[in-house]
Amino acid sequence: MRICLLAQADESMIHQVYANIIGNAIKYTEKTTKAYIEVGALQKDGQIVYYVKDNGAGFDMQYAYKLFGVFQRLHGADEFEGTGVGLALTQRTVSHHGGKIWAEAEIDKGATFFFTR
C-alpha cells in the first residue's frame, strides 16, 4: 500500500529531513534482531505531525536536549558511525519552514522523531 503525505516545503530540504531521520532509524536498528521502522503522520491540535518511529537502540530522555546540537552524540562513535550533524541540520530545516522537531525514546526500545511544518 502506498500513502502520500503532503506538505508545503522546499522539496530538496524536506528530502534531506527524511533522509536524516530515516537514515538514523536504519543506523540505530541495525543491531536489532527484527528491525521495525514506521513513517507516518497524525493530526494533533489542528496540525499535521509527521513522524519516523523505530525499535532500535533508543536513548535516555534526560539527554534529549543534546539531540539537535552540532556534534552532540548520545551514543559513542564506536557503537554507531556518524558525525553528529544530521539532526542539527534537520532541526534547522524544520525551523526554517516554521515547524518544530522533537523526539521520544527509551533505551533499547527505540525512538520516535516528530516534526511539524
> Residue 45's domain is classified under what CATH number?
3.30.565.10
Note down the domain range covering 73.
Answer: 11-116
pTM: 0.82
**pLDDT per residue as tens digits for the range 68-88:** 875 455 555 555 465 567 788
- Domain count of the chain? 1
Averaged confidence pLDDT in the chain? 83
Question: Which is nearest to 110 in space by CA: 21, 50, 37?
Answer: 37
Q: What are phi and psi of 84, to 5 degrees?
A: 85, 20
Angle at 92 between CA 108 and CA 105, to 5 degrees: 15
Within 10 Å of residue 78's Cβ, how many Cβ atoms? Answer: 6
